[in-house]
Amino acid sequence: MTTADLAPGAAAARATDAILHDTVHGTERGVVVDSPPGAGKSTLVVRAALELAEAGRPLMVVAQTNAQVDDLVLRLAEKNPDLPVGRLHSSDTDAYDKALDDLPQVRTSAKAADLGALPVVLSTAAKWAHVKVDEPWRHAIVDEAYQMRSDSLLAVAGLFERALFVGDPGQLDPFAIVGSEQWAGLSYDPSASAVTTLLAHNPALPQHRLPVSWRLPASAAPLVSDAFYPYTPFRSGTAHGDRRLSFAVPSDGSGPDRVIDEAADSGWGLLELPARHTPRTDPEAVRAVATVVRRLLDRGGAATSERAPGRPLPLTADRVAVGTAHRDQAAAVRTALAELGVADVTVDTANRLQGREYDVTVVLHPLSGRPDATAFHLETGRLCVLASRHRHACIVVCRAGIGDLLDDYPSTEPVQLGTLVKFPDGWEAMMSTWDHWSEHRVVWRP
Amino acid sequence: MSLITTLARLEAVSSGRAQPVATVRHRHLSARPLVFVPLTTAGEAGAPLGALAGTDRDAPRLLVVPQPRDRDLRFTFLADLADTVLPYIDSYAGSVEAAERTETDPETGQRVKVEAELCADAPQLIVPSRAGLDFVRLLGRSMRFRRTAEQDPEAPYPAPPRVPLLGRWLTHYGERSRVPGSSLLLALTDVLSRHWASGQSALEDQHLGALLAWIDPPEGGCGAAAARRAELARDAAGQLLCPPAGPATDPAFDNKLLAPAIERYDRARTALAAAEDALAADDRLAALTAAEREVRDLVASRTRPTWDAVWRGLDLLRALPEGAHAEERWTRDRWSFTGHRDRVLAGEPPQPRRDDAVTAANKLATREREQARLEAQEALDDPLVMAGRRLAGEAFTGEVTDVVLAYSEGKRPSPRPLVTVRTDDRPHLAERAKVYRSLGGRPQSAELAGQEADGVLVLRVLDKMGRGKEPEPGSVPEKGDRICFTLFEHEQRGGARLPDPEDTPWTHGGPPGEPAPEAPDTVTEEDVL
């Protein structure tokens, strides 16, 4: 029997059990887990950490950002308030979330030696790189390992004997701010992802995959799976009727309202503005994004989900996010939202939205208004992050003409000998998502 | 491309002249650079056709390979090149000054200062364009693994003395040129387009003649038309009036002029070899010399215009004053030069064909740090560059409208003055974002404490005010001051220390093992690449 025949919960439980078994009882030095968006990666990390701690193995946890580390510490403390946890942090001001100070079992320090005796110590890869130890940790968990660069794994790999590597292969690849073509094709290319290097040198390591996305609704999982994970499909943990988004205030017939209704109904909405070449911070598109957000909040949205069937929760500003490709676009959207009197809505770039979850997201399409399609804008991971942050619906705002633009600019990245070609390429993913979204198109002239 | 560069390019298009994008020169230029204008043979990678090289703009040394596919002639060329370049390099190796260097003490593991020699100046190589950089690397690679008869009497294809050494130096220079802001080996088109924006694409800017036409068009002429002429205009025989800067040559030149000349040379050589008596040999030697002369003249005719253009470009750059931080970056270039000199003197083997995992990671870390440092320093050195950063929301200039002295909480309150700045710029500032300004060359940091109205920012100054309760005089901005804050840091933190190569962890394949001598090419055994 394959996992596809099982109920989502059973399939996920089976995968998790296999992962934990390999991690705690396996003989290999590493275990790799691929996790699609919202598949319970953090839950898995917390469970693995608790089991390793229970087995009496000193554990270090490596995450990529301070926010991720703090989040893991809080989750660990919530699951097991008796487990002493160390939070290693940098000596900057505000190096960690002050909420940790309220937890008696969490000890914070900027020196690893202060925390050495604790069963679990967590920090960022950047901080771990400065730690020197005589005796390596028995075990490590490396979180967001696909977003970690090979060179930063090189700096910390000497600290542990064995490790569990967890991450999402579909999200943004790590990048370098200078050219690194010189090392392309080498198994240890320092600009490649940590997992790529790890598997190139240790191809026999057990690899697992979490098969169910609990975040993405049934309307989104098939598209995201087909477009971004064609060879490692996953499915939604919920069925079509499990989630509902409704609005108390009826549509006023405007473009933003119609696209909101389309998205509430089908999970996707595409608000298409007239074709035009614009600067990155396209004022009309930015205003359209802000208007959609404003109307989402004004219309008294309510979201029903499997977590509380029959009890709709209000769609508040903290459950809505706006995603963009560039920081200046995010800044422009923030300004536009402030002008419309909207506060507390998260507006960020794809890079910063990684790992976050909202009920509804509004996305400014990376290619909107562009005269060309560069490798940056075609990057698979960027679009994947933007299209997979939502539990209920995703609204894409875009200038018309993406299809033509893609036809004019096929991918032209040079193929390097010895590198793994990533499938699907960004162009292909752009095209397939665009085809799908076109079915939910609302044409609007602001 | 940043908005300000786009704007400059648009202005260049409409005015017909390249527009300055820098007010100072951001790269160090040596008083006595060695200019190297190489040409390569079509169809065979790494087969030099000839070159002009030298430090005297009026007397370049012309080196020519009359039959580029003849390996002996190629080695003669490389030996001659070594005779030109190595004495130039050596002339800088001897003059040193005392300096300090931080090293890790092998016993204690502490970072300690040790006295070291630092070359007082370093040799600088200039090539016309980016393709020239690649060619320098290729030459370096093809030479550094070769063995001379002296090094290895058994070597089946011994290289002339000094050729492997030149290969190591060219490799070092080629590798150093990948470090952002370094100036040991410069491609002139890159440096020129750092300082001027032309009205053509970045790709077209790699044509030195066209780029110079935009920057310095002929008297009363239009840059766009002059660039077009430089790129496309041909004489009655179909030859380009302005030959490309190379190393690749124009196909029309290859087909119409070069190939027949080389063929005549080949025939003359065959005829000489077949000569039966001394008299005939004399005649045929004269014919061979004439044929060789012909190839030499052709190569000279295609390199000399580029040679003159390179010097013209250097003149244009020299007219700009050097940026304040360029000297500091040049000092790091001098360290790089000194380091390689020491490795050569210590008898270390040539640079390996591929970096090991640790070396690659270290190089990448260094280059990223230098890139960030370069971007910050260029902005600090040059108001025009800073204007671009301001336009991009990464910096802002404003007038101080109010200063309120406040203190930090805690046992020993320290000054944390609140400075109100009115600015017309639109920085992308998040809540409590850190900003930096240059205070006597050192960065002072502040954080955003509040935003009063559009363009009115309240900043809390955080450091560089001394240890006392009162801030040191001059350390806090005063009302009426015009100050510039950046959102980016001015100095870069050092990265983490990576393990030694022999401690490479299992995730990266473990220790690389002892380096083995490079094996020759499987098809052409006389090549070691």
- Inspect the interface and report whether the beta carbons of A183 and B499 lie closer than 8 Å: no
**Which positions in chain A touch B498 (Cβ < 8 Å)?**
151, 154-155
Instruction: Report, in angstroms and rounded to the nearest whole number, the Rg of chain B calculated over CA atoms.
Output: 28
**Which positions in chain A touch B178 (Cβ < 8 Å)?**
178-179, 182
Is the separation of the CB atoms in A209 and A33 below 8 Å?
yes
d(CA B129, CA B42): 17
CA atoms within 13 A on the CB side of B134: 12
Whether chain B has a CB inside 8 Å of the CB on A80: the answer is no
pLDDT of residue B160: 85
The amino acid occupying position A177 is I
Measure Cα distances from A269 to A379, A383, A396, B194 in Å. Answer: 22, 15, 6, 44
- Inspect the interface and report whether the beta carbons of A158 and B499 lie closer than 8 Å: yes
pLDDT of residue B399: 96
pLDDT of residue B521: 78
A380's torsion region: left (phi>0), alpha (psi -120 to 50) or beta? alpha
Interface of B with A in 416-435 (CB under 8 A): 428, 432
For each of chain B's 529 residues, which pLDDT tens digit applies? 788 999 999 999 999 999 999 999 999 999 999 999 999 998 888 899 999 999 999 999 999 999 999 888 999 999 999 999 999 999 999 899 988 888 777 777 677 888 889 999 999 999 999 999 999 999 999 999 888 888 888 877 888 889 999 999 999 999 999 999 999 999 999 999 999 999 999 999 999 999 999 999 988 889 999 999 999 999 999 999 999 987 999 999 999 999 999 999 999 999 999 888 888 888 899 999 999 999 999 999 999 999 999 999 999 999 999 999 999 999 999 999 999 999 999 989 999 988 999 999 999 999 999 999 999 999 999 999 999 999 988 999 999 999 999 998 878 888 999 999 999 998 888 778 899 999 988 999 999 998 888 889 999 999 889 888 888 888 999 999 999 999 999 988 877 889 999 999 999 998 888 777 777 777 777 777 6
- Inspect the interface and report whether the beta carbons of A154 and B508 lie closer than 8 Å: yes
Is the separation of the CB atoms in A168 and A88 below 8 Å?
no
The amino acid occupying position B489 is E
Tell me the two tokens of residue B351: 């640079």
Is the separation of the CB atoms in B167 and B146 below 8 Å?
yes
Is the separation of the CB atoms in B528 and B521 below 8 Å?
yes
Chain A residue whose CA is closest to B494: A130
Partner residue opposite B498 with nearest CB, options A29, A154, A186: A154
Whether chain B has a CB inside 8 Å of the CB on A277: the answer is no
Residues forming a β-bridge with B457: B421, B451
Contacts (Cβ under 8 Å, ≥6 apart) of A47: A16, A20, A79
Tell me the two tokens of residue A91: 């000596």
Whether chain A has a CB inside 8 Å of the CB on B500: the answer is no
Chain centre to alpha carbon of residue B486: 27
Contacts (Cβ under 8 Å, ≥6 apart) of B6: none
- Name the pLDDT band for A3 (thresholds 50, 70, 90): low
B29–chain A nearest CA distance, Å: 23
Q: Which residues of B77-111 are buried (b: 16+ CB within 10 A; e: fewer)?
A: bbbbbbebbbebbeebbeeeeebeeeeeeeeeeee
Query: How many helices (H) and strands (E) are present in chain B, helices listed first?
Result: 13, 15
Only one residue has tokens 């370096």, namely B140
Give DSSP secondary structure letters for B113-126. Answer: EEEEEEESS---EE
- Lowest-confidence segment of A32-46, A63-77, B515-529 by average pLDDT: B515-529
Only one residue has tokens 């302005």, namely B242
Q: Using one digit for the tens of pLDDT, what is the confidence trace for A204-242?
A: 999 999 999 999 999 999 999 999 998 889 999 999 889
Q: Using one digit for the tens of pLDDT, what is the confidence trace for A273-297?
A: 999 999 888 999 999 999 999 999 9
- Inspect the interface and report whether the beta carbons of A178 and B367 lie closer than 8 Å: yes
Instruction: Find the angle CA(B139)-CA(B144)-CA(B147) to the nearest 5 degrees.
Output: 125
A104–chain B nearest CA distance, Å: 23
Which helix (H) or strand (E) segment is B171 a member of?
helix B163-176
A121–chain B nearest CA distance, Å: 19
Partner residue opposite B508 with nearest CB, options A130, A188, A331: A188
Whether chain B has a CB inside 8 Å of the CB on A188: the answer is yes
- Inspect the interface and report whether the beta carbons of B357 and A157 lie closer than 8 Å: no
Residues forming a β-bridge with B38: B51
Does the bond joining B128 to the residue before it have cis omega, within 30 degrees of 0? no
Contacts (Cβ under 8 Å, ≥6 apart) of B168: B140, B143, B144, B340, B344, B350, B351
Chain A residue whose CA is closest to B3: A279
Alpha helices in B319-354 (DSSP H): 326-345
For residue B409, the SS3 value is: coil
Whether chain A has a CB inside 8 Å of the CB on B495: the answer is yes
Best residue in A31, A128, A178, A199 for a mutation probing chain B (most B CBs within 10 Å): A178
pLDDT at A18 over 90: yes
Distance between terminal CA atoms of chain A?
A: 53
Chain centre to alpha carbon of residue A41: 10
The secondary structure of residue B207, as a DSSP letter, is -
Only one residue has tokens 């997201």, namely A361
Q: Which phi and psi angles does B444 have, rounded to 5°?
A: -105, 135
Whether chain A has a CB inside 8 Å of the CB on B499: the answer is yes
Measure Cα distances from B399 to A148, B381, B425, B456 in Å. Answer: 42, 20, 11, 10
Q: Which phi and psi angles does A427 have, rounded to 5°?
A: -60, -50
Tell me the two tokens of residue A146: 């696909």
pTM: 0.91
Instruction: State what percent of residues in chain A have pLDDT above 70.
Output: 99
B238's torsion region: left (phi>0), alpha (psi -120 to 50) or beta? left
Q: Which phi and psi angles does B451 have, rounded to 5°?
A: -125, 110
pLDDT of residue A91: 86
Q: In what order do the strands lie in the sheet with A358-364?
A: A346-349, A320-324, A358-364, A390-399, A268-273, A441-443
Dihedral Cα B188, B189, B190, B191, nearest 10 deg: 50
Whether chain A has a CB inside 8 Å of the CB on B503: the answer is yes
Only one residue has tokens 């002008």, namely A339
**Which positions in chain B touch A188 (Cβ < 8 Å)?**
356-357, 360-361, 508-509
Q: Which residues of B113-149 are buried (b: 16+ CB within 10 A; e: fewer)?
A: eeebebbebbbbbbbbbebbbebbbbbbbbbbbbbbe
HEC readout, chain A: CCHHHCCHHHHHHHHHHHHHHHHHHCCCCEEEEECCCCCCHHHHHHHHHHHHHHCCCCEEEEECCHHHHHHHHHHHHHHCCCCCEEEECCCCCCCCCHHHHHCCCEEEECCHHHHCCCCEEEEEHHHHCCCCCCCCEEEEEECCHHHCEHHHHHHHHHHEEEEEEEECCCCCCCCCCCCCHHHCCCCCCCCCEHHHHHHHHCCCCCEEECCEECCCCCCCHHHHHHHHCCCCCCEECCCCCCCEEEECCCCCCCHHHHHHHHHHHHCEEEEEECCCCCCCCCHHHHHHHHHHHHHHHHCCEEEECCCCCCCCEECCHHHEEEEECCHHHHHHHHHHHHHCCCCCCEEEEHHHHCCCCEEEEEEECCCCCCCCCCHHHHCHHHHHHHCCCEEEEEEEEEECCHHHHHHHCCCCCCCCCCCCCCCCCHHHHHHHHHHHHHCCEEECCC
Whether chain B has a CB inside 8 Å of the CB on A329: the answer is no
d(CA A297, CA A256): 12
The secondary structure of residue B429, as a DSSP letter, is P
Chain B residue whose CA is closest to A153: B507
pLDDT of residue A1: 40
pLDDT of residue B24: 97
Is the separation of the CB atoms in A170 and A384 below 8 Å?
yes
Only one residue has tokens 């910096």, namely B395
pLDDT at A380 over 90: no
Only one residue has tokens 């005939």, namely B280
B107–chain A nearest CA distance, Å: 15
pLDDT of residue A4: 59
d(CA B183, CA B26): 10
d(CA B228, CA B210): 7
B81–chain A nearest CA distance, Å: 26
pLDDT of residue B383: 95
Tell me the two tokens of residue A365: 């399409």
Partner residue opposite A154 with nearest CB, options B178, B361, B372: B361
Is the separation of the CB atoms in B295 and B261 below 8 Å?
yes
Is the separation of the CB atoms in B34 and B126 below 8 Å?
yes
Q: Which phi and psi angles does B36 have, rounded to 5°?
A: -130, 115
For the ranges A351-360, A433-442, B157-166, the one whose mean pLDDT is highest: A433-442
Whether chain B has a CB inside 8 Å of the CB on A21: the answer is no
Chain B residue whose CA is closest to A197: B508
Measure Cα distances from B232 to B250, B298, B313 in Å. Answer: 11, 20, 20
Dihedral Cα A189, A195, A200, A201, nearest 10 deg: 100
B172–chain A nearest CA distance, Å: 14
Burial of B515 (0-12, 13-18, 19+ CB in 10 A): exposed
**CA nearest to B497, candidates A181, A158, A110, A173:** A158
A244's torsion region: left (phi>0), alpha (psi -120 to 50) or beta? beta
A132–chain B nearest CA distance, Å: 10
- Inspect the interface and report whether the beta carbons of A150 and B506 lie closer than 8 Å: no
- Name the pLDDT band for A412 (thresholds 50, 70, 90): confident
**Which positions in chain B touch A29 (Cβ < 8 Å)?**
506
d(CA B165, CA B173): 12
d(CA A57, CA A48): 11
